[in-house]
């Protein structure tokens, strides 16, 4: 990687994501609080979400360049205000709420930089395994764990290949997804939680992720640019255009994410 002007910024964002992950882990690893029935607004999940969001927002507000922040936790910003944003941060402080509750570790901290309607940089951090994924538009996608550092490359495949690995949610498998699978040649399904579904494609360990059920913009923004920079795509199921951001309605259309079609 050369010295891209955004590189220092995204390095700072990675540090912020780790701090948010540490905050989540404090709550996640407190076994005692998990067994206690608490009101929803004080559940471990809600606390982890809220406190991680606070760490991220405070961190982003201290950076040299300050952009507006649109987060799952502060999504009430009116469209009339945000439609004029040039650059802004799109944040999901804790993606994979079911995974957090089930305690299977498959949840992530997601921070994306959006320019106009495109995700142009993204950071995804996995607090339990301390794995870090990031990408900058035009600069490639990267992975780091401990001191291991590598560039991500999506796998090349053809839609007719036998035994394609298809990522499906542990929690949602609807009729439309089932019929999508029926059209493939002996697909093998892979279950993953949260934005890790995109990252397993970016790592080349699976080829397709059909999401034919609702998601929100902050669920996909950071992981989309990572997969794109690894050579994959995230395309709407209806018109096959890339997912776009900062829409009036922040719900994503149905989409298919995939590796590198040859």
**CATH number reported for the structural domain that contains residue 205 in this entry:** 3.40.190.80
Q: Which two tokens stand for residue 169?
A: 């949610």
Which of 151, 182, 216 corresponds to the end of one domain?
151
Q: Does residue 134 share a domain with residue 121?
A: yes
Say if 2 falls within a structural domain. no
Cα 8 to Cα 255: distance, rounded to the nearest angstrom:
32
Cα 61 to Cα 234: distance, rounded to the nearest angstrom:
29
Q: Which two tokens stand for residue 82?
A: 């945000």
Quote the number of domains for the chain: 2
Q: Which residues contact 115 (CB under 8 A, 6 or more apart)?
A: 86, 87
Confidence of residue 178 (pLDDT cuts 50, 70, 90): confident
Confidence of residue 34 (pLDDT cuts 50, 70, 90): confident
pLDDT at residue 19, rounded to an integer: 98
Say if 250 falls within a structural domain. yes
In angstroms, the first-to-last Cα distance of the chain is 26
User: Could you list the residue range(s) of the whole structural domain that residue 36 is in?
Assistant: 7-151
Q: Which of 27-41, 75-89, 225-239 has the highest mean pLDDT?
A: 225-239
pLDDT at residue 82, rounded to an integer: 94
Mean pLDDT for the stretch of residues 157-180: 87
Say if 1 falls within a structural domain. no
């Amino acid at each position: 990687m050369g010295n891209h002007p955004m590189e220092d910024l995204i390095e700072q964002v990675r540090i912020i994501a780790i701090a948010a992950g540490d905050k989540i882990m404090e709550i996640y690893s407190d076994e005692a609080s998990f067994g206690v029935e608490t009101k929803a607004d004080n559940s471990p999940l809600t606390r982890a979400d809220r406190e991680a969001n606070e760490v991220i927002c405070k961190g982003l507000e201290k950076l040299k360049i300050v952009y507006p922040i649109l987060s799952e936790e502060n999504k009430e910003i009116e469209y009339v205000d945000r439609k004029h944003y040039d650059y802004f941060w799109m944040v999901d402080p804790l993606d994979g709420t079911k995974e957090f509750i089930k305690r299977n570790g498959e949840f992530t901290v997601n921070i994306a930089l959006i320019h106009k309607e495109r995700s142009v940089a993204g950071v995804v951090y996995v607090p339990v395994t301390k794995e870090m994924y990031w990408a900058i538009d035009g600069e490639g996608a990267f992975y780091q764990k401990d001191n291991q550092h590598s560039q991500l490359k999506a796998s090349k495949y053809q839609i007719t290949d036998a035994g394609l690995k298809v990522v499906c949610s542990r929690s949602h498998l609807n009729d439309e997804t089932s019929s999508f699978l029926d059209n493939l040649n002996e697909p093998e399904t892979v279950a993953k939680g949260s934005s890790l579904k995109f990252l397993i494609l970016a790592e080349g360990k699976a080829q397709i992720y059909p999401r034919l059920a609702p998601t929100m913009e902050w669920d996909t923004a950071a992981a989309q640019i990572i997969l794109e920079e690894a050579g994959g795509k995230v395309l709407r199921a209806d018109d096959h255009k890339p997912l776009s951001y900062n829409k009036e309605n922040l719900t994503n259309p149905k989409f298919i994410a995939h590796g590198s079609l040859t």
